[in-house]
Chains A and B, each alone.
Chain A
């Protein structure tokens, strides 16, 4: 039986919420009431995700959840659902990740009686009919075959990195599945997955201007006497140790080369070292922010690309979002650097520049000055992580996943405020390295890139520049251009884009 979640969120900066309501059931419940909020936000989540896809049925968690959020129910056809939700500007959607599935919904208090039964139908009475199934399945296959392979090279590189780092584990495949597994998927697979993993596994998150009776109603309807599923257990991931610098190149007629690299790290929000490491992460490569050190080196000083960032936990849809969207918590995380698309001509140089910067900070640690300014930055920047009540609810659900008690944003800020440089540098030493990494890139003439990498010769950038640079940049460029990357021939794999995520 799962533990009863008891949360008291002392201060809510944005909405001045009151404290939690506590319930005794198998399910967790997180409640953020606010009388002044303009909406009622639901977040019904499960600690179930694509890692629970049975072997050969990759994508079934995703398709099942999509069918629930974007398909017919036993009481309404999908078309009728669209009609009914339209005038009340309400709706529900789903986010599926490796270990979590989260149904989010929002409605105005005026419309709760119209909306609520439809939400419950979607969760408990999905129709799982062939018409909806075929639509969602075919669209998902097209998303892999067309969009991911051909319209989004940066996301393609990042997905390839995950695939290779977690090869052989249930983290490796795309949440969407593979082309082959999706083609083989049947509506019965979806029904089975729902019965075995979804129904009976709901947890309840509620925020905004709801009446307290809604809490009882949700418990009664979603938990009640539905049999709790015991067989959805933690899947062992255990990523294999990476030996040396491994390179995975996707050959494609790409206009430029996006690159990412990384390795598993044994730290999550559940671990106290997380906060120290997160300060390093922010300094080294804050997502979509000029404060990122890598951004300064690669984009600002040299104009090579649009941006360069670093992560210590999964940040999904980074090309579109400037702030992380919650509800993709994972027990296994990677350290990752994302070098946005660079001209092919300077791909080798760019990779060297990024790894060299990593080496320097690992060897020398952060300076007192960088530490202080990043601490100040993060303490305030984190105010913007959860501007709405529904996002804040998402953060609390993630806190529940990691076993953190209390208001997460407040805890995060307090932890950052109390960090010391010694703690941060110790965390860098403990978790970050530069010798054993997986590197993934999407590029044209991958063979040529392989040769450049293996030969490890000079990769000058000077001819590429279209403007004068300060002398110190030219000097540093010489060092970067000759920075040794020890990449062995048998560590480079080239894969044509058409084979990506096929099986």
Chain B
């Protein structure tokens, strides 16, 4: 899950960089899209692009595990994502399934901390069939209690599958250590006790749908071989009856952290020790220099050609990996540096090397050529990456969920282009001891 999120972030950051090669005043986003907000608040982006008869259909719901404010409800946004495949008034499950099969759609969904995303890759000729089905399940989802309980079993199965990986174990520990009040304290998968209790929450699930699955909380993106002039009227036909009524949850802000936090956890079995050194970060904004500079700092200091990576991974060979994850989030989250060491005795050394690296960036200005290399890398990654409707819509999903649209890409670009070595230094200055959480994981069998 974490990896997926990182990729999505990368996609957006890269996207923002295209304008490096364009003249001032040019639009960053290379496709001429159409955007319209329906009367009920549903925002719709139609992005025509040559794609050999394929299209991608993304519905981004701006609700994720961040919105699970009630005790005992961790993991519910993800569980509910499963229920969205359980049929509607017009299309009971068997009918829904048979239509899905007949159009051979590559359909799936995922849930993150900040949003839930439903996506289909389809033949563009089936667009109206898909729009009919998608608009129906967002307006008239209908399922009985028995299949609801059965689906809870599948979610528990997903948990069991995931928890066999030590990274899920330490991820849970990191979140609950770094956050006390904010809902970022639990994972998107949720606590096992809450997952076990999910079969009992049928009525709650109805309320969840009622509160969050509303047009003004959703954004529709359709990319591919489409004609916006023909598609937009269809969108209105299928989605206009969807009633507004989103109820914003009261998410408690996280109190300011005043001292370093540490925690340890264990994985049942063998694993190389894993450590995450994380710092409280700002909420993402495309106009925030600190936000953008932090993302660049993560790559410069801990990325795959950083001095630290080369030293620890290539020369000393003390770590099996070192990787930064400086994500974009709606609320202040964590900039993370992940390492896995071969020998537990090296953990202190590796930690001190990470801290020394941060100190260096606090006290020195990064070489201009390194910063330019990173910007150049972003440009080329972007240019090579937006090659399918799925990559365009999928790469944008997180950015859209967090900022509420595509438009912010233009701001983000301007911000990125303006970042200097001094900004990188300022971002490093934010990584102070009192904002730090260090979590370690050890295998019970070594």
B127-153, CB under 8 A of A: which get 1 and which 0? 000000000000000000110111111
Pair A108/B160 contact, Cβ less than 8 Å: no
Pair A306/B158 contact, Cβ less than 8 Å: yes
Pair B388/A388 contact, Cβ less than 8 Å: yes
Pair B52/A150 contact, Cβ less than 8 Å: no
- Which segment, of B34-42, B174-182, B354-362, B378-386, faces chain A? B378-386
- Which segment, of A34-42, A324-332, A399-407, faces chain B? A34-42
Q: Which of B126, B305, B390, B443 has the most CB of A within 10 A?
A: B305
**B240 at the A/B interface (Cβ < 8 Å)?**
no
- Which segment, of A133-141, A190-198, A262-270, faces chain B? A133-141
Pair B388/A290 contact, Cβ less than 8 Å: no
**B430 at the A/B interface (Cβ < 8 Å)?**
no
Pair A86/B53 contact, Cβ less than 8 Å: no
**A120 at the A/B interface (Cβ < 8 Å)?**
no
B148-176, CB under 8 A of A: which get 1 and which 0? 11111110011011011110000000000
Pair B146/A468 contact, Cβ less than 8 Å: yes
Main secondary structure on B side of the interface with A: helix
- Which segment, of A52-60, A87-95, A417-425, faces chain B? A87-95
Known contacts A255-B160, A342-B157, A376-B101; decide if A87 and B146 are in contact (CB<8 Å). no
- Chain B residues 39-53 with CB under 8 Å of chain A are 50-53
**A379 at the A/B interface (Cβ < 8 Å)?**
yes
Pair A291/B380 contact, Cβ less than 8 Å: no
Pair B146/A383 contact, Cβ less than 8 Å: no
Contacts of A253 in B (CB 8 A): 268-269
**B376 at the A/B interface (Cβ < 8 Å)?**
yes
Give min CB distance, B120 to chain A, whole Å. 10
**A304 at the A/B interface (Cβ < 8 Å)?**
yes
A469, B148: Cα distance in complex, Å: 11
Pair A38/B100 contact, Cβ less than 8 Å: no
Give min CB distance, A175 to chain B, whole Å. 18
Q: Which of B164, B317, B373, B388 contacts A255 (CB 8 A)?
A: B164
Complex: chain A residue closest to B270, CB-CB: A150
- Which segment, of B64-72, B103-111, B288-296, faces chain A? B103-111
- Chain A residues 370-397 with CB under 8 Å of chain B are 373-374, 376-384, 387-389
A154, B157: Cα distance in complex, Å: 12
Give min CB distance, B11 to chain A, whole Å. 13
Pair A376/B102 contact, Cβ less than 8 Å: yes
**A450 at the A/B interface (Cβ < 8 Å)?**
no
Q: Which of A36, A88, A89, A381 contacts B104 (CB 8 A)?
A: A381
Pair A299/B157 contact, Cβ less than 8 Å: yes
- Chain A residues 284-303 with CB under 8 Å of chain B are 288, 290-291, 299-303
**A83 at the A/B interface (Cβ < 8 Å)?**
yes
Pair B161/A341 contact, Cβ less than 8 Å: yes
**B320 at the A/B interface (Cβ < 8 Å)?**
yes
Known contacts A138-B317, A139-B320, A252-B269; decide if A290 and B342 are in contact (CB<8 Å). no
Contacts of B266 in A (CB 8 A): none
Pair B305/A83 contact, Cβ less than 8 Å: yes
Pair B317/A135 contact, Cβ less than 8 Å: yes
Contacts of A378 in B (CB 8 A): 104
Pair B121/A384 contact, Cβ less than 8 Å: yes
Contacts of A322 in B (CB 8 A): 106, 108
- Chain A residues 186-229 with CB under 8 Å of chain B are none
Complex: chain A residue closest to B54, CB-CB: A383
Q: Which of B54, B97, B98, B314 contacts A14 (CB 8 A)?
A: B54
**B432 at the A/B interface (Cβ < 8 Å)?**
no
Contacts of A381 in B (CB 8 A): 104-106
**B351 at the A/B interface (Cβ < 8 Å)?**
no
Contacts of B445 in A (CB 8 A): 150
Pair A377/B102 contact, Cβ less than 8 Å: yes
Contacts of B163 in A (CB 8 A): 255
**B377 at the A/B interface (Cβ < 8 Å)?**
yes
Give min CB distance, A32 to chain B, whole Å. 13
Give min CB distance, B388 to chain A, whole Å. 5
Pair B387/A37 contact, Cβ less than 8 Å: yes
Contacts of A151 in B (CB 8 A): 164-166, 269, 271
Pair B100/A86 contact, Cβ less than 8 Å: no
Contacts of A78 in B (CB 8 A): 314
Contacts of A79 in B (CB 8 A): 305, 310, 314-315
Contacts of A377 in B (CB 8 A): 101-102, 104
Pair A383/B123 contact, Cβ less than 8 Å: yes
**B404 at the A/B interface (Cβ < 8 Å)?**
no
**B85 at the A/B interface (Cβ < 8 Å)?**
yes
- Chain A residues 149-163 with CB under 8 Å of chain B are 149-154
**B199 at the A/B interface (Cβ < 8 Å)?**
yes
Contacts of B98 in A (CB 8 A): 373
Pair A466/B153 contact, Cβ less than 8 Å: yes
Complex: chain B residue closest to A147, CB-CB: B271
**A470 at the A/B interface (Cβ < 8 Å)?**
yes
Give min CB distance, A133 to chain B, whole Å. 11
Complex: chain A residue closest to B167, CB-CB: A151
A237, B352: Cα distance in complex, Å: 52
**A460 at the A/B interface (Cβ < 8 Å)?**
no
**B403 at the A/B interface (Cβ < 8 Å)?**
no
Known contacts A303-B149, A303-B150; decide if A36 and B314 are in contact (CB<8 Å). no
A90, B376: Cα distance in complex, Å: 11
Pair A323/B380 contact, Cβ less than 8 Å: no
A interface residues (Cβ-Cβ under 8 A, vs B): 12-16, 36-39, 78-79, 82-83, 85-90, 106-108, 110-111, 131-132, 134-135, 138-139, 142, 145-147, 149-154, 252-256, 258, 288, 290-291, 299-306, 322-323, 340-343, 373-374, 376-384, 387-389, 466-470
Known: A152-B164, A381-B104. 9 other contacts (CB 8 A): A87-B372, A142-B320, A142-B342, A149-B270, A151-B271, A254-B164, A301-B150, A302-B153, A380-B123
Can you pick out 18 interface pairs between chain A and chain B where the beta carbons lie within 8 Å of each other?
A79-B310, A79-B314, A87-B372, A88-B376, A90-B380, A108-B383, A131-B317, A151-B165, A151-B269, A304-B153, A306-B161, A376-B102, A383-B123, A387-B388, A387-B390, A467-B148, A467-B199, A468-B149
* CB-CB nearest 3 A-B residue pairs: A303-B153, A380-B104, A467-B149
